[in-house]
């Protein structure tokens, strides 16, 4: 890891207004219901051919339909192997229309974390009234991740650029190079922990300024890419109005403080919280 961190700055003032999120039937659901010949062939190709090989994954029809729609809309042209497999989602490499690598996060619509996801959505003003089927909750969740990425980006936090969302599938900028995906902070030796910490806390403050709390922030969701620390996995991020906002903020601060304190940075959960809360007020962000 190099000595200097490049950090991105805020692009826009972000306020406290929220865009409503629509979880009506998606195009992918319609395609899956129709299951025309072209779609069936795509499904087969994605399963069978080397180029579209999806290792260790069996997608349901609607997930294939979401990928099919992303190909039709020119967001994707080929699907690669998995970067990560998790409880709620798998992340894959894929190629966009121009042959550049992108990351595709595919949420399982049979997630065992449905209840927890609903609890996170409840209390977020953007998602009022969305409960009900697992699929609707997952669709809302993926849109929330997309919208959180946009909001974080506008606030000057380095995150993967969100490119497209379709049902339970999110396409975003790939962090990594020909040799593979970029490592998380768990897997790098941090030579300048003070600087790294100051970047992370600045990003936390910018998120907080933009009305968001990450909610699962730790060294596992911070990636070191291109000389820069990048925040990932913002699906669960909640607004500061969320009933559990306080608890999530405290936990994020605890995780980050303990990670950097172990690297001999002079930080405690309390000092980080007080930095976020006392210096977060706009307009100055630095």
Ligand X SMILES: Nc1ncnc2c1ncn2[C@@H]1O[C@H](COP(=O)(O)OP(=O)(O)O)[C@@H](O)[C@H]1O
Nearest approach in angstroms of CB 286 to Mg ion is 28
Between 124 and 233, whose beta carbon lies closer to Mg ion? 233
Binding ligand X (rule: CB under 6 A), the pick from 83, 188, 240, 265 is 83
Residues 141-160 that bind ligand X (CB under 6 A): 160
172 near ligand X, judged by CB under 6 A: yes
Distance between CA atoms of residues 127 and 23, nearest Å: 9
67 near ligand X, judged by CB under 6 A: no
Per-position x/- string for 85-104, each x denoting binding to ligand X as judged by CB under 6 A, each - no binding:
-x-xx-x-----------x-
82 near ligand X, judged by CB under 6 A: no
Angstrom CA distances, 25 to 32, 44, 66, 167, stand at: 11, 24, 12, 9
184 near ligand X, judged by CB under 6 A: yes
- Active site annotation includes 216: yes
- Active site annotation includes 3: no
Binding ligand X (rule: CB under 6 A), the pick from 175, 249, 256, 257 is 175
Q: Name the residues that contact Mg ion, by CB under 5 A.
A: 221, 233
Please count the other Cβ atoms lying within 10 Å of the Cβ belonging to residue 194: 14
Q: Which of 29, 209, 233, 252 is catalytic?
A: 233
Binding ligand X (rule: CB under 6 A), the pick from 23, 28, 232, 276 is 232
Burial class for 146, CB neighbours closer than 10 Å (0-12, 13-18, 19+): buried
Between 88 and 124, whose beta carbon lies closer to ligand X? 88
Distance between CA atoms of residues 95 and 89, nearest Å: 19
Query: Which residues contact ligand X (rule: CB under 6 A)?
Result: 83-84, 86, 88-89, 91, 103, 105, 160, 172-176, 181, 184, 221, 232-233
* Residue numbers annotated as active site: 216, 233
């Amino acid at each position: 890891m190099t000595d200097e961190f490049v950090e991105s700055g805020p692009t826009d003032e972000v306020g406290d207004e929220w865009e409503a999120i629509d979880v009506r039937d998606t195009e992918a659901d319609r395609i899956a219901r129709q299951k025309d010949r072209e779609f069936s062939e795509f499904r087969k190709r994605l399963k069978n051919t080397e180029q579209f090989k999806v290792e260790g994954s069996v997608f349901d029809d609607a997930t294939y339909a979401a990928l099919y729609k992303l190909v039709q809309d020119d967001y994707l042209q080929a699907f690669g192997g998995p970067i990560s497999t998790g409880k709620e989602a798998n992340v894959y490499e894929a190629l966009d229309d121009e042959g550049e690598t992108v990351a595709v996060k595919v949420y399982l619509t049979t997630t065992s974390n449905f209840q927890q996801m609903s609890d996170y959505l409840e209390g977020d003003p953007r998602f009022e009234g969305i409960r009900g089927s697992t699929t609707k909750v997952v669709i809302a969740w993926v849109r929330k991740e997309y919208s959180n990425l946009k909001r974080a980006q506008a606030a000057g936090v380095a995150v993967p650029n969100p490119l497209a969302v379709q049902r339970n599938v999110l396409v975003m900028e790939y962090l990594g190079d020909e040799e593979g995906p970029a490592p998380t902070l768990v897997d790098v030796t941090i030579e300048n922990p003070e600087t790294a910490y100051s970047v992370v806390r600045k990003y936390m403050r910018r998120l907080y300024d933009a009305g968001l709390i990450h909610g699962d922030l730790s060294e596992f969701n911070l990636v070191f890419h291109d000389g820069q620390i990048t925040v990932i996995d913002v699906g669960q991020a909640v607004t500061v109005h969320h009933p559990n906002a306080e608890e999530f903020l405290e936990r994020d601060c605890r995780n980050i403080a303990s990670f950097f304190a172990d690297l001999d940075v002079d930080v405690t959960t309390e000092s980080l919280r007080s930095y976020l809360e006392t210096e977060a007020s706009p307009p100055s962000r630095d």
